[in-house]
A = this chain, B = another copy of it.
Amino acid sequence: MISLSYTEENYLKAIYHLSYLGKECITTNEIAEMLNTKPASVSDMLKKLSQKEMINYVKYYGVEITDQGKSCALKIVRKHRLWEVFLVEKLKFNWDEVHDVAEELEHIQSNLLIERLDHFLGFPKYDPHGDPIPGADGLLREKPQIGLCDLTINDIGFLSNVKEAGVAFLQYCDKVGLKIGVKIKVIDKVSFDNSLEIEIDNIKTISISKEVSKNIFVTR
């Protein structure tokens, strides 16, 4: 088993997440931006991850994650999301408070720990933001979902996932009542700015911007 340093794990996870949406090729600048670091540092790291066969790296062109790399990244994502569940379910953290702590906890090295944690939490399938938790087998099972911004008038869905982990966004969601599981009905769509008028749980109607709606996913 090839071992990765704390920093290598963070880079690999970033590359995995950038790869996730089916992009064939990830660029140096994208990685630098995601990790708040400089492109020069990224170039250094890409050589190392390439040598460890976590990525295929072609100078000046870009980066592609390997199967081995994806498998390592998924283990880290598994740990991250299980810890997030722990923090919310057991320690009563709010969903906007968990990300930074999980960013550290995901690097703790112990298979026993993570499997016992999984058991203790009752083998959860999704994290507090609705993201799927990779299994111990290394597989990610996604549920079919659709962007709130892609619904049309009178469509109904149940909030299943938020795609933005920022504190500001999550606190905004809390404030207006957008939580995992709520029922959302599209009342109106303003073509001028693509904002939506939505009804939440048959109770209240609010207006949300396209910025917001494109980060929210629902199941139908």
Binding site for B on A (CB under 8 A): 87, 90-93, 97, 100-101, 104-105, 108-110, 112-113, 116-117, 119-120
Contact = CB atoms under 8 A, between A and B. Distances in A.
Contact of A93 (B100, B101, B109, B112): B112
A10 to B, nearest CB: 15
A91 B83 CA distance: 13
Nearest to A100: B110
18 contacts: A87-B113, A90-B120, A91-B113, A91-B116, A91-B117, A91-B119, A91-B120, A93-B112, A93-B116, A97-B112, A100-B110, A101-B108, A101-B112, A101-B113, A104-B108, A104-B109, A104-B110, A105-B108
Nearest to A116: B91
Contacts of A92: 116
A117 to B, nearest CB: 6
Contacts of A87: 113
A119 B90 CA distance: 10
Contacts of A110: 100-101, 104
A9 B74 CA distance: 30
A110 B92 CA distance: 14
A109 B113 CA distance: 19
A87 B87 CA distance: 15
A80 to B, nearest CB: 13
Contacts of A113: 87, 91, 101
A91 B118 CA distance: 10
A154 to B, nearest CB: 42
A162 to B, nearest CB: 21
